[in-house]
């Protein structure tokens, strides 16, 4: 399953706001459509946002727009996932935007397969793995990062069970991750976000594997709820892994300097179309959590698994 396709000079996206009830598509004919798709979460997940943004640049280029301006506009669509900025700059610096975007598309799949292969090594037969939000095929071009690790372990015939957090307020775990697991008959159970601590306390979770929107020098940023899971995992000695491509790394900054997106109040005040609190309720809706590196067991990348305490060493090696 591919989250997006480039066809006849248009970007066709799976409309993730309609899943799991309906598998339908959203066509971007110009770069402004791509901005709408990213803002409204038709396409979401750090790597998918990055590649979609790259094709947004291509659409701008084909329409003869000023690419510096298009880049600035696309960069305002969502603030937290570093891939968006990385992808737009990469296309901006390239000689052939379409070729570059198509290369990024292919690279994303290759990268996720490598993350999956590396990550499968830490999954043992009999493991129950808890994941949060959707770091699956839908969050990338295909295969996924955290769910890619789970897919690889399952394809290696390991006997595993998956637990997906619902991921309030938008339900990416319930709507998207459960759907992805079911497509491949990977055993999966859905839990309310608030049940994760209880299950870890009862020793019903062996490992947590989640994705990241940004990996910085002192930790990671990922979907809201990730911090509480990491804290509970530390308390109950559950291994806590993050799966992310190097395109999500922003080694020079601190997690505390990352802009955390605040989304609209209606995502919190309404559920399944109905209001769940009194009218005029004031809301906070931060979309991402900051997880310091002392809560992380390892970061699974396409180049291997990194001990967060040895970040600097890892980056030095990459430069060699």
Catalytic positions are 213
Of 90 and 223, which CB lies nearer to ligand MRU in the complex structure? 223
Q: Mark the segment that binds ligand MRU (CB under 6 A) among 103-111, 117-125, 132-140, 230-238.
A: 132-140
Name which of residues 224 to 283 contact ligand MRU (CB under 6 A). Answer: none
Residue 248 and residue 139: Cα distance in Å, rounded? 13
Q: Report residue 295 as tokens.
A: 């809560």
DSSP 53-118: HHHHHHHHHHTT--HHHHHHHHHTS-SS-HHHHHHHHHHHTSS-HHHHHHHHHHHHHHHHHHHHHH
Q: Please check if 30 is assigned to a binding site.
A: no
CB of 16 to ligand MRU, least distance (A): 8
CB of 187 to ligand MRU, least distance (A): 21
Burial of 167 (0-12, 13-18, 19+ CB in 10 A): buried
Which of 42, 74, 133, 291 binds ligand MRU (CB under 6 A)? It is: 133
CB of 159 to ligand MRU, least distance (A): 25
Q: Determine the Cα angle at 309 with ends 303 and 312, to 5°.
A: 60
Answer yes or no: are the C-beta atoms of 56 and 35 closer than 8 Å: yes
If one asks whether residue 287 binds ligand MRU (CB under 6 A), the answer comes out as yes
The SS3 of residue 156 is coil
DSSP 245-306: -GGGEETTS-GGGSPPPB--THHHHEETTEE-S-TT-----B-EEEEEGGG-SEEEETTEEE
Q: Please check if 78 is assigned to a binding site.
A: yes
Q: Report residue 190 as tokens.
A: 């859905």
If one asks whether residue 45 binds ligand MRU (CB under 6 A), the answer comes out as yes
Q: Mark the segment that binds ligand MRU (CB under 6 A) among 66-74, 116-124, 210-218, 290-298.
A: 210-218
Of 211 and 308, which CB lies nearer to ligand MRU in the complex structure? 211
Which of 3, 77, 152, 222 binds ligand MRU (CB under 6 A)? It is: 222
If one asks whether residue 47 binds ligand MRU (CB under 6 A), the answer comes out as yes
If one asks whether residue 135 binds ligand MRU (CB under 6 A), the answer comes out as yes
**# chain residues binding ligand MRU, by CB under 6 A:** 18
Residue 241 and residue 145: Cα distance in Å, rounded? 11
Residue 21 and residue 171: Cα distance in Å, rounded? 13
Q: Please check if 46 is assigned to a binding site.
A: yes
If one asks whether residue 44 binds ligand MRU (CB under 6 A), the answer comes out as yes
Name which of residues 58 to 97 contact ligand MRU (CB under 6 A). Answer: 81
Residue 44 and residue 51: Cα distance in Å, rounded? 11
Binding region for ligand MRU (CB under 6 A): 44-47, 81, 133, 135, 139-140, 145, 172, 210-213, 222-223, 287
Task: Please give the annotated binding residues for substrate, written as ranges.
Answer: 44-46, 78, 172, 222-223
Task: Please give the annotated binding residues, written as ranges.
Answer: 44-46, 78, 172, 222-223
């Amino acid at each position: 399953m591919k989250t997006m396709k480039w066809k006849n000079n248009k970007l066709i996206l799976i409309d993730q706001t309609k899943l799991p009830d309906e598998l339908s598509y959203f066509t971007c004919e110009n770069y402004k459509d791509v901005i709408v798709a990213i803002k409204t979460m038709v396409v979401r997940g750090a790597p998918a946002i990055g590649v979609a943004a790259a094709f947004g640049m291509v659409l701008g280029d084909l329409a003869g727009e000023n690419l510096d301006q298009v880049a600035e506009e696309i960069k305002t669509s969502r603030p937290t996932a570093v891939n968006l900025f990385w992808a737009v700059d990469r296309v901006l610096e390239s000689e052939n935007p379409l070729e570059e975007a198509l290369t990024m598309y292919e690279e994303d799949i290759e990268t996720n397969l490598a993350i999956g292969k590396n990550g499968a090594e830490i999954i043992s037969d009999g493991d129950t793995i808890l994941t949060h939000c959707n770091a699956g095929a839908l969050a990338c071009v295909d295969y996924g990062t955290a769910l890619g690790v789970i897919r690889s372990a399952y394809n290696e015939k390991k006997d595993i069970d998956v637990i997906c957090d619902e991921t309030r307020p938008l339900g990416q775990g319930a709507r998207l991750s459960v759907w992805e697991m079911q497509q491949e008959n990977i055993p999966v159970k859905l839990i309310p976000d608030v049940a994760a601590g209880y299950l870890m306390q009862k020793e019903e979770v062996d490992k947590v594997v989640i994705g990241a929107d940004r990996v910085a020098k002192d930790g990671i940023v990922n979907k809201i709820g990730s911090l509480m899971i990491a804290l509970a995992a530390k308390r109950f000695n559950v291994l806590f892994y993050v799966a992310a491509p190097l395109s999500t790394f922003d080694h020079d900054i601190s997690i505390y300097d990352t802009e955390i997106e605040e989304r609209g109040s209606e995502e919190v005040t309404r559920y399944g179309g109905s209001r769940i609190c009194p009218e005029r309720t004031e809301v906070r809706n931060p979309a991402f959590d900051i997880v310091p590196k002392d809560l992380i067991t390892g970061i699974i990348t396409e180049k291997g698994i990194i001990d967060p305490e040895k970040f600097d060493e890892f980056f030095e090696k990459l430069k060699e």
